[in-house]
């Protein structure tokens, strides 16, 4: 097993493309996103919230990168670009991975 860092962003689907571009531009080799729902400072959100193409719903985006500094830089770029105008949270956590070549470790 190899050490790496997972970054997690939960935000509005409408900014998904911009957030994932910042993730890739920051050096991640890929990401995963899934519909998300829950309750927080902006009230309750359903993963199945009605809207045009689901753009009013939330998503959870995860990526694994080779080191914590890279993860912090990616999350900071996302926060600077989007979190003043869109809801969102972001955090990192250490992970142990197989196949480190997939994450440029």
Instruction: Give pLDDT, residue 52.
Output: 47
pLDDT tens digits for range 41-98: 655 555 555 554 566 689 999 999 988 999 999 999 999 999 999 999 999 999 999 9
Residues 6+ apart with CB under 8 A from 31: 20, 23, 24, 61, 62, 63
Q: How confident is the model at residue 102 (pLDDT cuts 50, 70, 90)?
A: confident
pLDDT tens digits for range 31-40: 999 999 877 6
**Alpha-carbon distance 65 to 95, whole Å?**
10
What DSSP line would sit under 7-20, residue for residue?
Answer: EEEEEEGGGHHHHH
Instruction: Give pLDDT, residue 101.
Output: 85
Q: Are 26 and 95 in contact (CB under 8 A)?
A: no
């Amino acid at each position: 097993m190899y050490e790496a860092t997972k970054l997690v962003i939960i935000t509005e689907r409408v900014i998904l493309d911009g957030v994932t571009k910042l993730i890739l531009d920051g050096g991640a080799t890929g990401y995963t996103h899934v519909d998300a729902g829950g309750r927080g400072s902006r009230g309750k959100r359903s993963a199945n919230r009605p809207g045009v193409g689901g753009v009013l719903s939330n998503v959870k985006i995860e990526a694994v990168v080779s080191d914590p500094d890279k993860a912090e830089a990616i999350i900071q770029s996302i926060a600077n670009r989007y979190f003043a105008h869109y809801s969102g949270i972001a955090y990192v956590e250490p992970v142990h991975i197989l196949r480190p070549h997939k994450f440029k470790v």
